[in-house]
Amino acid sequence: MNIDRRGILAGATGLGIAAMAQGAGAQMARSPVKVIDVHTHNFTPRWVEMLRRNPDADTRLLPTSPAEIIEYRGAPIVRLTPDMTDMDMRIAAMDRAGVDMAIVSLTAPNVFWSSRETAIATARTVNDDFAAAARKYPGRVLWMASLPWQYPDAAVEELARVRGMGVSALCLLTNMSGMLPDNAHFDPVWKAVEASGLPAFIHPTVPMVDVKQWGVESFGLANTIGFTSDTTLAFARFMLSGFMDRFEGLKLIACHGGGSLPYLIARMDKMWDSLASRRQSSKPPSAYLRRFWYDAIVYDQPTLRFLVEQVGEDRVLYGSDYPFSIQDMVGVKSRVSALPAAQRDKILGLNAQSLFKIAG
């Protein structure tokens, strides 16, 4: 397979230049509230080994230098630099940035590859690893569980298991083996998630399309355009398919400021108005916008202000996207800190404390 190396360097993950940009020796001032990072990732060495031993047609490790790359459907999505698996490096980065707590999650491709047996074993492995990290770093690390959603019976069983292990939330993807999260196949899992009361953090992945035909295999576009498009599509379907009417108790978190959802919501309302005979939701899309939570990873001040205006100051959460090359632990914190004090404190930590039931 021919791979655009410049595209890999632009789009693959890893701390690299971003770490230098934030300054390895700088120590940011402490915030008036506990700063809680809700969008931050780790792989674990055992997870990497599971993928190395069990690739499939869509998901594999490429033995590139200086670090392996995870390729998904022909697009490079993760460069496995040391900070991807090293918790001590994470704690050091948090200390430099003045971040008090991280709720770590397993990003794409999560456990949605290979066989049923592999998916179940990988979910159990990474959940056990995250629980161990939380015990090792009390007060600094919490975690989100991964479930083998593609096998609903096994996912419900794993959810029951992790509830006794101190889990704070669940992490899934905007498409799982090509199925969007509102697919009725997942209804048994959603019923169990709703009953659990746990928030569900929905991370984007490469849309289930031909990435080369779409043109996102290079220049990091699988991340910047593909990921945000998949988030927008998944949450638009939650609004329009009747899903949010059926599962009113779910607590769903959209990544990267909700993709383009806050920007397109009026257009979606206009289309909903014109499709009166084909509606499946009881209310227009904008009526559901403030039913979700959103991270503050939007990269500039005007966009952050717009997000807060659209969804409300109670629905935005601090996140960094550490340790990807597009991570912005310091920048996001600085932009949030520039907001009015009430908004600042809610987004830096108070909203997360309430949503994830974290003691002050």
Q: Whole-prediction pTM value?
A: 0.90
- Give the pLDDT band (50/70/90) at residue 222: confident
Domain definitions of the chain by residue range: 29-356
pLDDT tens-digit series, residues 77-103: 899 999 999 999 999 999 999 999 999
C-alpha separations of 45 from 84, 85, 145, 252 in Å: 9, 6, 16, 28
**CATH of the domain spanning 29-356:** 3.20.20.140
Phi, psi angle pair for 32, to nearest 5°? -70, -15
CA-based Rg of the chain, rounded to a whole angstrom?
Answer: 19
C-alpha separations of 241 from 8, 262, 334 in Å: 36, 18, 37
pLDDT tens-digit series, residues 317-343: 999 999 998 999 999 999 999 999 999
Q: What three-state secondary structure class fits 222?
A: helix
